[in-house]
Amino acid sequence: MKTFLHVGCGQKFKDQTTNAFNTNEWDELRLDINESVKPDIVGTMTDMSSVDNESVDAIFSSHNIEHLYPHEVPVALAEFKRVLKPDGFVVITCPDLQSVCKLVA
């Protein structure tokens, strides 16, 4: 069984991530800053100290990274790398703000 870390999960579970993770092959480990959404781990993208080094096969982060300050992005990505197994991978989705600005301007 493989494990993916659902970073900034909010109230969503693996069936609301991608079809690839929504299988019996994947266990979901939910991480969020908000205790009220009942994550497995309370933490942030920039401090995942409760997650062991090289302990997850994948990371899923949807519409979270754009909420970081620019100087926090490298810290979050370093945390992602730290907790991933050597052959792991990351799925990050975020809005394309430049395209939106072109439409509004």
Domain ranges of the chain: 2-104
Structure tokens at 103: 């439409």
**Per residue in 79-94, pLDDT tens?**
999 999 999 999 988 8
State the pTM of this model: 0.88
**Per residue in 25-75, pLDDT tens?**
999 999 999 999 999 999 999 999 999 999 999 999 999 888 888 888 889
State the pLDDT confidence band at 98, using cuts at 50, 70 and 90.
low
Is 82 in contact with 92 (CB distance < 8 Å)? no
Query: How far, in Å, CA of 15 to CA of 100, rounded?
Result: 28
Structure tokens at 18: 């991608």
User: Which CATH homologous superfamily contains domain 2-104?
Assistant: Vaccinia Virus protein VP39 (3.40.50.150)
